[in-house]
Amino acid sequence: MTALKEHSSTSTTTARRKRRKQASAVSGPARERILQAAEHLFAEHGMSGVGLRTITAAAKVNLAAISYHFGSKDGLLEALFAARAAPIAEERMRLLAECTKAADGSPALENILDAFVRPTLTLGPQTPQGGHAFGRLRARLATEPERLARKILAKAFDHSSKMFIEAIVAALPEIPRPDIEWRFHFMLGSMFYTMANSGRIQALTDGRCDPGDAQRALHHMIPFLAAGFRSPPVPE
C-alpha cells in the first residue's frame, strides 16, 4: 500500500513538473501564449490527445480566452497553421523564384526540391526541448481526422505545392505528369517522417543518423528525392 502511495506521489510530482515546464515555455500576450502552448502540446500528443483545459493551464489563461480568440479547438489549430505555415510557404516561393531567376527560367531539379523541403525543416519557432514543434505537429496532422487535415493543409499549402508540381513537371518533360504527382506524394511522406523524428533511425544506427540535424538530412534527402523523380516512367 505504501509503495502504491509512493508511486502515485511520484507520478503526480512528475506530472506537475511537466506542466510547469510547458507553462514556462510560453510568453507574451494571451493569444500568442495559447498558440505556443497548443503548438507544443499538439506536437507532443496530437490534437485528439489534448483537451482545452490542458492548453489553458499551460498558457496561463482561462477557457473563455480560447473561445474569445479562436472559437474552438479546431479554430485554434487553424489559426496556429495560419501563423506558422505562412512563413514556410512564403520562403518556398522566394527560393523557387530565386533559383528560377538564377537559371534563366530552367532551374535544376535538385534546386526545386531543395526550395520546397528546406523551409519545412529549417523554419519555425524552437521548442525548449530543441527541434521544431510545428514540424512535428504537421507530421502528426497526417494522422488526424481526414476532414480536418485536408481543410487545414489545403488552406496553408495548396497554392505553393501546386506551383512546385508545375516546376517539377517543367524540369522533367520526359516524365508523365501522373508519375510526377505520385512521386510528389512520396516526397511528402519522406518529409513528414523526417519532421516527426520518431527516434527509430537513431536506434537502428546507434545515433549516426539524426533527422533532427536539418542540414545533414537535406544533404542526403535531396539526391534521394531527385533520383526518385528522375526514375523511368512506370509502365501502365
Give per-residue pLDDT as tens, 156-167: 899 999 999 999
The pLDDT confidence band at residue 19, using thresholds 50, 70 and 90, is very low
Query: How far apart (Å, rounded) are the C-alpha atoms in residues 23 and 11?
Result: 18
DSSP class of residue 125 equals P
Which residue do the cell numbers 526541448 mark? 129
Query: How far apart (Å, rounded) are the C-alpha atoms in residues 117 and 215?
Result: 11
Identify whether the C-beta of residue 193 lies closer than 8 Å to the C-beta of residue 72: no
Residue 97 has pLDDT above 50, yes or no: yes
What average pLDDT does the structure give for the chain? 84
The pLDDT confidence band at residue 20, using thresholds 50, 70 and 90, is very low
- As given in the structure block, the three cell numbers for residue 134 are 510545428
Which positions ≥6 away from 3 have C-beta within 8 Å?
none
The pLDDT confidence band at residue 150, using thresholds 50, 70 and 90, is confident
Condensed to tens digits (0 to 9), the pLDDT of residues 175-221 reads 999 999 999 999 999 998 898 888 899 999 999 999 989 999 999 99
The structural domains of the chain, with segments of one domain joined by +, span: 2-70, 84-230
- As given in the structure block, the three cell numbers for residue 203 are 536506434
- As given in the structure block, the three cell numbers for residue 114 are 531543395
What's the CATH number for 2-70? 1.10.10.60
CATH superfamily of 84-230: Tetracycline Repressor, domain 2 (1.10.357.10)
Cα-Cα end-to-end distance for the chain = 67
Query: How far apart (Å, rounded) are the C-alpha atoms in residues 171 and 189?
Result: 21
Condensed to tens digits (0 to 9), the pLDDT of residues 99-121 reads 999 999 999 999 999 999 999 88
C-beta neighbour count of 129 within 10 angstroms: 11
- pLDDT score of 4: 45
- pLDDT score of 17: 52
- pLDDT score of 181: 98
132 strand-pairing partners: 126
Cα 100 to Cα 51, 106, 141: the distances in Å are: 45, 6, 31
The pLDDT confidence band at residue 145, using thresholds 50, 70 and 90, is low
Query: How far apart (Å, rounded) are the C-alpha atoms in residues 28 and 36?
Result: 10
